[in-house]
Copies of this chain bind each other. A is one copy, B any other.
Amino acid sequence: MDSQIERILKHSELSVTGGRKKILELFLHNPGALSHGDIEKRAGEKFDRVTVYRTLQIFLEKGIIHAIPTADNSILYALCKNDCSPIGHHDNHVHFICNFCGKMICLENVSIPELNLPPEFNATQVDVVISGICKECK
């Protein structure tokens, strides 16, 4: 049941605790991305704001989740699908944010095209964030 959750945590050399399991579960059960506020709300009254900060922080460092910058300046977090590592994220799909309902959707099947970067720049990460109206809100 939660063996997947425990596996992820252990793989990142983190202790398996209630808070971490709960937050990780939220991510696993959510197709899109979550903000700090979402997590506090949906986790019930169970735990502290500070724990959420620290948990997100360490998940980021371990490469379990990644942060998605949005145009309206809220930060969203989403699970890394595969070979992210503490060294760097390789999250090569496009993120779509609906201006109306605020939902974030990972468009797994829209991949990021090659960009003609000048050779003097060394890219380690490419983020593509599209804003617009999703199909539900049209």
Contact = CB atoms under 8 A, between A and B. Distances in A.
DSSP majority for the A interface?
Answer: strand
Contacts of A135: 120-121
A101 to B, nearest CB: 13
Contacts of A114: 113
Q: Give the number of times this chain occurs in the complex, counting copies.
A: 2
Contact of A130 (B71, B121, B129, B131): B121
B69 A70 contact: yes
Contacts of A125: 71, 130-132
Contacts of A107: 117-118, 121
Nearest to A70: B69
B132 A121 contact: yes
A115 B129 contact: no
Given A71-B69, A121-B135, A135-B120, A128 B110 contact: no
B131 A124 contact: yes
